[in-house]
Structure 1
Amino acid sequence: MSWQRFRAQGPARNVRRAFPARLLVAASLAAGVVTLPALPAQAATVSVRCSVSDLVRAIRNANNSPGPDTLNLSHRCHYRLVRPDTANPANGLPAITSDITINGNGAAITRAKTAPAFRILLVAGTGTLTLNRTTISGGRATDCPGAPAPPNPPGLVCGGGINNQGTLTVNHSRVIGNTATSGVFAEGGGIDSDGTATLNNTDVSYNTASYTGTDPSAAAGGGIANDGPMTVRHSRVTGNTVHVTRRSRDSFAFGAGHAAFAATTIVHSTISGNRASAPGGTARGALTSAVDMTVTDTFIRGNTASAWRGTVTGGGVAYTGTMLMTRTHVTGNRAIAEGGNALAGGIRIGPGGQLNLRDSAVIGNIVSAPRGRSAVGGGIDNSAGGTLTSSQSKIIKNVATALGPGTARGGGLFNAIGSASLTDSVVTGNTAGDGGGIFEESGAVTLSDSVVRGNRPNNCAPPNSVPGCVG
């Protein structure tokens, strides 16, 4: 959980060399006693009737079983939870403490609308859960298991649908309509993972992380938040929301789709239609990262970040770590600051961030600010000392706009302090008040076998700021 980002180092494990089995048997024979090696615990497979009480009983039995267990849920059953787990009322089902596979067979596990607030599933630190073809919905988190205790500030809320402290694998499933709402700090409306997690062919959609307090704080990861390593493959993170209330000025809403605080890999996935809102505060992209991230063959499109009288940094992507983006499209995202300043409709490279853009496209993104304010970087903003390396990529038809006497610069790319190197790349059809293609305020932009043309009202600004850029 990112409120207190630390991981205590456990004591080193004692390692003892195991004697070969044949020597153990020989020694036993010499003593007149034969000790056979213990047989491994046998896996158990249980069919679970369409009954919540049967599902609860099956999980408890599996937790107490010495080996891995498989629970086969009833085909398309709707397990509707009306009360929390008796042992831990923050969760609807018993915490997963052993190695359990749940085969949903199209079943749904949901919290009833009339039930008290609780999340659906918790995977404890000792637990391993593989969830197949199951829908998790309607969860409402009330605590944050990953927060240290003490101090665990009361009111932290993490993981509306699933909170993972162990090992989680989700296959061909849906995590939809879950919520993490807090007056202190909220994270992971759909999934919050402090352990190791893998999502395959999974929808994480229409979840919400919301901060409702008055002191400056944050809500992060409307769909997903991870403080442990995560891999997302062939999945969809769509329609999720992260927001803070108007009374919480100077607060942050970020990662409407996915907020990553640990090494993350995203492959063949879609992050779309997510929204971050921070009135009077700061709203950041649908995909945010503070660490190393690899994004491959993925679409990040149609996301929006807005901040009424605040600041927006990145409609699609915002990060401060190192990001390798390959064959990825960042398209149609918007950064809107009603009464404030906006940076990056598509991608915001934060302080010290490094973006390696390979064979990718940044197309049709918009950054906009109102009268008298500033909008920079319709496609990409690199104004905080970051590094952009673009190879065989396209920055096309992005827009930076500001009303009246406002400032709109860098329709394709805005660069300040940091450096940008474009090789075999194209910057064309972008629009801004000045520097339609590239605006270099400071730092250095280098073009190598790249084309900057057809931008409005000019290709690069100020004049002669980018060697090799004309008009």
Structure 2
Amino acid sequence: MSRRHVSAVLGLVAGALVAVPAPAAHAAAVQVRCSVPDLIAAIGAANGSPGPDTLQLARGCTYKLTAPDPESPGNGLPVITSEITIDGRGATIRRDERGHKVPKFRILLVGPTGDLTLTRTTISGGFATDCPAFPDPPGLACGGGISNTGRMSVTRSKISGNTSKSDVFAQGGGIDSPGTATVSESEVTGNQVVYSGSDLGGGAAGGAIVNDGPLTLTASRLTGNTATVTKDTQSFAFGAGLISFAETTVKDTVISDNRSFAPGGFARAALSNGIPEPGRLTVTGGAVTDNTSDAPHGFAQGGGIANNALMTVSDVKISANRAIAKNGTARGGGVRMGPIGTLDLTDSQITGNTVEAPGGTAQGGGIDNPDGGMLTAKRNKVLRNTATAKDGTAQGGGLFHAGGAEGLGTTTLEENAIQHNRAGDGGGIFKGSGVLTLNGDVVRANQPNNCSPTGTVPGCTD
């Protein structure tokens, strides 16, 4: 954020003290009446003025947008190009969907030179038709509510009921942020990201938020968001809550009741991580709960968390998440590791998660590390997780581990409690291959057994 600097000069002229100039005062906040033309004019004026500007919206007003900005038709309001604070004071900025002739556009775009602080404001009804940060290939859609390519801070606000939809690739139903962003004490709810194409291998990512730039998410709620893809296109629906492709920090945040749906494709967890090294997704406190990944005749890969990069999770409640794949493969009801993932999981609760694959394969009700990832888990409670597959194969109610194609995957456990989990085989732990070690862990009271195959997990007894 830019700042004004006023230099103070102290000197003597003809034996007298020269007064130090007072710092220049910031311009008074602009009061914006409950009028869309007034809001548009206020943003335009703020973009054109030097220094930061604050716009105070009318309390409780709903600013109903019925047409896109003439200069940036993908957006409802003028692009934010300078340092602007929008203090909504409980106001809503909404694309008015009641008329069939209302075109589709997102609500806000923060341009590369923009610096937006959004507080006490609801952003709703936006519909992305383009992808400002990634215009090639054409047809991508990013950021149904907000697209941030500059700097942005969202506080005590609500981003709800926005859509990003494309027949090429869609991301960020609520927020897409290739820039630098913080979101705190806010709710991102009821947004959707949709791949509507017919080509194989399309994708819908980040029902609530997609992060392609540094992001800090604090004391917020990501709830009731969805990611869906066209049936039988072998496409990917992932991160219905949050997908991160750049450095991300999540603190004391609840990610719940989100759903990824990919019939005949790949449905991946509500919180998904694919950050290239050396970036990391760090999650501390909060909860990942009651999320669903559903891929009938396909692959459900993680109900709560899916990691295929560097990730740290500590003091998080990961509970009641589901990975479901009728006549397919369901893995990692709570946590799923990818082949190049590295995860440090500590002091967390992985409880009551399920994998279900009627007529298929279900593995890792609580935690799944099947393809060569590196998992270190310390002082966690892995309790009452289940793997079920009527007329199929169900293994590893608490944990499923395999070393991957090259047998290099490792799971290192220390002082965890793995109890009261259930599966067809390996109620506590099922080890397929690779290296799995126990160090002071309690593995007991699992059904039908604690560890399987017998003798493959040193230190585990039935």
- Map 1:44-63; keep pairs closer than 5 Å: 44-63=28-47
Query: How big is each residue's C-alpha offset from its partner over 1:98-130, in whole Å with a ceiling of 9 and x where there is no partner?
Result: 000000000000000122100000000000000
Give, in whole Å, the separation in 2 of the partners of 1:238 and 1:48.
31
The answer (yes or no) to whether the contact 2:307–2:343 under 8 Å persists in 1 is: no
Which secondary structure does the structure 1 equivalent of 2:344 belong to?
A: strand
Match of 1:333 among 298, 301, 321: 321
- 1:15-26 correspondence runs (5 A): none
Q: Report the equivalent of 2:282.
A: 294
Which of 134, 157, 162 does residue 121 from structure 2 map onto?
134
Equivalent residue letter for 1:365? N
Alignment of structure 1 residues 30-45 onto 2, 5 Å: 42-45=26-29
What amino acid is the match of 1:242? A
- The partner residue of 1:223 within 208, 211, 232 is 208
Residue of structure 1 aligned with 2:424, choices 423, 430, 433: 433
- Following the alignment from structure 2 to structure 1, what is the Cα–Cα distance between the partners of residues 361 and 59? 55
Partners of 1:41 and 1:281 lie apart in 2 by: 58
Which residue does 1:145 correspond to in 2? Answer: 132
| 1:43 to partner: Cα distance | 3.6
Query: Within the alignment, does 1:125 sit opposite 2:119 as a pair?
Result: no
More deviation in 335-344 or 116-125?
335-344
Which residue number in structure 2 is paired with residue 245 of structure 1? 230
Structure 2 residue matching 1:125: 3-state secondary structure:
coil
Residue aligning to 2:374: 387
Query: How many residues of Structure 1 are paired with residues of Structure 2 in the alignment?
Result: 437
Partner of 2:333: 345
Say if 2:381 is the partner of 1:416: no
Tell me the secondary structure at the aligned position of residue 188 of structure 2: strand
Q: What CA deviation, in whole Å up to 9, does each residue of 1:417-471 have, x standing for no partner? A: 0111111110000001110000111112111111000000000011111111001
Q: 2:38 and 2:423 mapped to 1: Cα distance?
A: 61
**Structure 1 residue 44: Cα displacement:** 4.2
What runs of 5+ residues in structure 1 fail to find an aligned partner?
1-19, 30-35
CA distance in structure 2 between the partners assigned to 1:37 and 1:351 by the alignment: 62
1:342-371 deviations in whole A, cap 9, x for unaligned?
A: 111110011121111111010000001122
Deviation of 1:42 (Å)? 3.9
For 2:393, the equivalent position in structure 1 comes to 407
Letter of the 1:446 counterpart:
T
TM-score (norm 2): 0.92
Aligned 8 A contact 1:256 1:275 in 2: yes
Q: Does 1:306 align with 2:290?
A: no
Residue aligning to 2:138: 154
Separation in 1, partners of 2:210, 2:190:
14
Counterpart-to-counterpart distance in 1, 2:250 and 2:382: 21
Kindly report the root-mean-square deviation, in angstroms, between the aligned alpha carbons of the 2 structures.
1.8
Identical-residue share of aligned pairs (%): 54
In structure 2, C-alpha distance between the alignment counterparts of 1:44 and 1:75, rounded to whole Å: 18
For residues 99-114 of structure 1, the aligned pairs below 5 Å read 99-113=83-97, 114=99
SS in 1 for 2:29: strand
Cα deviation for residue 333 of structure 1 reads 0.4
Find the residue that maps to 2:40 and give its secondary structure: helix
Structure 2: distance between partners of 1:107 and 1:166: 24
Q: Label 1:423 to 1:154 Cα distance change in 2 as closer, same or farther (>3 A).
A: same
Residues 37 and 183 of structure 1, relative CA distance in 2, 3 Å threshold = farther
Matched residue type, 1:314:
G
CA distance in 2, matches of 1:64, 1:80: 24
SS at match of 2:103: coil
Q: Which runs of 4+ in 1 moved over 3 A?
A: 20-23, 36-44
Structure 2 matches for 1:362-373, cutoff 5 A?
362-371=350-359, 373=360
Equivalents in 2 of 1:57, 1:22: separation in Å?
A: 39
Q: Give 2:153's aligned residue.
A: 169
When normalised by structure 1's length, the TM-score is: 0.90
Which of these residues, 186, 200, 204, is aligned with residue 202 of structure 1? 186
Whole-angstrom distance in 2 between the partners of 1:98 and 1:43: 14
Cα separation, 1, equivalents of 2:296 and 2:44:
48
Is this contact kept in 1: 2:333–2:365, CA < 8 A?
A: yes
Q: Structure 1 CA distance, aligned partners of 2:349 and 2:197? A: 39
CA contact (8 A) 1:320 1:354 kept: yes
- SS of residue in 1 equivalent to 2:38: helix
Give the equivalent residue in structure 2 for 1:361: 349
Sort the Cα spacing of 1:192 and 1:460 in 2 relative to 1 into closer, same or farther, 3 A.
same
Counterpart amino acid of 2:153?
Answer: T
